[in-house]
């Protein structure tokens, strides 16, 4: 059985498309088999909603009278990067308020903009002949500025480590609060709904792929930072952090329901973001990968008290075990909890399925593939000569 994206899009336009979420597909394949399911199902939808620190937004404010070349910008007292052009800035999700207020940052600014709220813009400049103004203090919103779009260097990690803590003190990490003496395990993945786990070799995902992003429509712009393929696999899926995507989408199309600021006590700020990926069922192999269940998807358990990039997994556990609420470590039953929302992931997959079924969302063929062979390097202390 073979089909093309163009054929599937025609079925969407004709109202004949058959769409299932990745969660719905699993029991269907178990009861009907891969061959029949591949003939019946045209698209499988996925979803994830969790912290995606490597996110941010480009904003163009428009020119003031007289004009200013913004060299220093804050938005609600959160610094934004201005080394682009006169009135462009990039606000990073994890950037913190200038008073080192660790509970408010760029993610909050982005959420407030998406929510339709006003944000205070303060900018300063040394002034020049063509940009004489030296400062401005005003309020902006999505109604007053020009372009406003998310551009995220790393979203939708294909898999991620579960965190625990063997030390005698509580740790506050981007994986949440880790209790001493292996007191708990936290994880962050939608498992069998997670977008890139359901197409592990990215056969249907590439540059230009249309996706659900933050409640609106977005696109895969490039490979994500720290993208790598040299990761151990089981049942065809990576057993640790592997591929990911850089994404882009218009803030004005998004919803605060799927773009939410997070404050992680003792660590900082992040952005909880909803991402959904439609998988066109081109053949039986694509469907077989999309039907892998939580029992067949594994994450490494990492001890975050070991302060080294070379931490080795204590063990690998399935997402079925993680989602059960407890796993076993060294003969001890340890409770587990998720840093991402499976309920929201399901909602995203269902929403995307509805949009496809209603003819509101067509699929795209990638204009270029993402890398099939990529490793991730490390940062070393080197001399100038060693660096080239």
Query: 3-state SS of the chain?
Result: CCCCHHHHHHHHHHCCCCEEEHHHHHHHHHHHCHHHHHHHCCEEECCEEEECCCCEEEEECCCCCCCCCCCEEEECCEEEECCCCCCEEEEECCCECCCCCCCCEHHHHHHHHHCCCCEEEEEECCCCCCCCCCEEEEEECCCCCCCEEEEEEEECCCCCCEEECCCCCCEEECCEEECCCCCCEEECCCHHHCHHHCCCCCCCCEECCEEEECCEEEEEEEECCCCCCCCCEECCEECCCCCCEEEEEEHHHCCCCCEEEEEECCCEEEEEEEEECEEECCCHHHHHHHCCCHHHCEEEEEECCCCCCCCCCCEEEEHHHHHCCEEEECCEEEEEEECCCHHHHHHHHHHHHHHHHCCCCCCCCCCEECCCCCCCCCCCCCCCCCCC
Q: Among all residues, which ones are annotated catalytic? A: 130
CA-wise closest residue to 280 among 352, 224, 218, 347: 352
Quick check: 212 and 354 in contact, CB under 8 A? no
Note the Cα 243 to chain centre separation in Å.
Answer: 11
Residue with tokens 């898999």: 159
Asked whether residue 251 is assigned to any structural domain, the reply reads yes
Asked whether residue 275 is assigned to any structural domain, the reply reads no
pLDDT category at 111 given cuts 50, 70, 90 is very high
**Going by C-beta distance under 8 Å and a sequence separation of 6 or more, which residues neighbour residue 169?**
180
Tokens standing for residue 253: 């199309």
207 and 134 in a single domain? The answer is no
Asked whether residue 266 is assigned to any structural domain, the reply reads no
| C-beta neighbour count of 384 within 10 angstroms | 6
19 and 163 in a single domain? The answer is yes
Point out the domain boundary residue: 145, 166, 196. Answer: 145
pLDDT, position 350: 98
How many Å is the Cα radius of gyration of the chain?
Answer: 22
pLDDT, position 271: 98
- pLDDT of 183 above 70: yes
pLDDT, position 63: 98
Asked whether residue 265 is assigned to any structural domain, the reply reads no
pLDDT, one tens digit per residue, over 303-329 is: 999 999 999 999 999 999 999 999 999
pLDDT, position 1: 79
Q: What is the mean pLDDT of the chain?
A: 97
Domain that holds residue 101: 62-145
Asked whether residue 336 is assigned to any structural domain, the reply reads yes
Rounded average pLDDT over 249-278 = 97
- pLDDT of 102 above 90: no
Quick check: 350 and 193 in contact, CB under 8 A? no
Asked whether residue 53 is assigned to any structural domain, the reply reads no
225 and 295 in a single domain? The answer is yes
- pLDDT of 301 above 70: yes
137 and 156 in a single domain? The answer is no
pLDDT, position 282: 98
- pLDDT of 100 above 70: no
**Going by C-beta distance under 8 Å and a sequence separation of 6 or more, which residues neighbour residue 81?**
89, 90, 91, 92
| C-beta neighbour count of 278 within 10 angstroms | 27
- pLDDT of 101 above 70: no
119 and 212 in a single domain? The answer is no
Please report how many Cα atoms fall inside a 13 Å half-sphere around the Cα of residue 152, on the Cβ side.
Answer: 34
pLDDT, position 99: 80
Point out the domain boundary residue: 94, 125, 145. Answer: 145
231 and 304 in a single domain? The answer is yes
pLDDT, position 224: 98
> pTM of the prediction?
0.97
């Amino acid at each position: 059985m073979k089909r093309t994206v163009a054929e599937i899009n025609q079925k969407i336009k004709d109202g004949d498309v058959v769409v299932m979420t990745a969660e719905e597909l699993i029991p269907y394949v178990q009861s009907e088999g891969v061959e029949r399911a591949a003939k019946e199902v045209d698209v499988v939808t996925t979803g994830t909603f969790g912290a995606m620190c490597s996110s941010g937004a480009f904003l163009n404010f428009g020119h003031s009278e007289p004009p200013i070349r913004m060299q220093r910008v804050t938005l609600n007292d959160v610094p934004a990067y201005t080394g682009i052009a006169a009135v462009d800035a990039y606000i990073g999700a994890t950037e913190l308020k200038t008073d080192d207020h660790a509970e408010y940052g760029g993610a909050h600014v982005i959420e407030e903009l998406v929510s339709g709220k006003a944000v205070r813009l303060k900018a300063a400049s040394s002034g020049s002949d063509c940009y004489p103004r030296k400062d401005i203090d005003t309020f902006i919103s999505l109604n007053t500025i020009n372009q406003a779009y998310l551009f995220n260097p790393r979203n939708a990690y294909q898999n991620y480590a579960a965190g625990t803590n063997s030390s005698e003190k509580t740790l506050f990490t981007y994986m949440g609060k880790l209790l001493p003496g292996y007191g708990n395990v936290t994880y962050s993945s939608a498992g069998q709904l997670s977008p890139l786990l359901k197409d592990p070799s990215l056969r249907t995902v590439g540059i230009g792929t249309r996706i659900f992003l933050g409640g609106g429509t977005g696109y895969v712009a490039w490979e994500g930072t720290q993208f790598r393929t040299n990761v151990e696999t089981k049942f065809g899926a990576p057993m640790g952090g592997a591929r990911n995507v850089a994404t882009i989408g218009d803030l004005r199309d998004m919803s605060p329901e799927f773009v939410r600021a997070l404050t992680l006590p003792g660590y900082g700020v992040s952005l909880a973001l909803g991402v959904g990926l439609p998988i066109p069922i081109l053949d039986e192999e694509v469907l077989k990968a999309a039907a892998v269940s939580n029992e067949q998807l594994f994450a490494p358990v990492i001890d975050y008290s070991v302060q080294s990039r070379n931490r080795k997994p204590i063990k690998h556990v399935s997402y079925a075990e993680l989602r059960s609420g407890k796993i076993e470590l060294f003969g001890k039953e340890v409770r587990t909890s998720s840093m991402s929302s499976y309920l929201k992931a399901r909602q995203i997959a269902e929403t995307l399925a509805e949009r496809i079924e209603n003819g509101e969302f067509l699929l795209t063929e990638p204009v270029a593939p993402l890398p099939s062979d990529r490793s991730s390097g490390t940062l070393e202390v080197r001399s100038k000569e060693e660096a080239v």
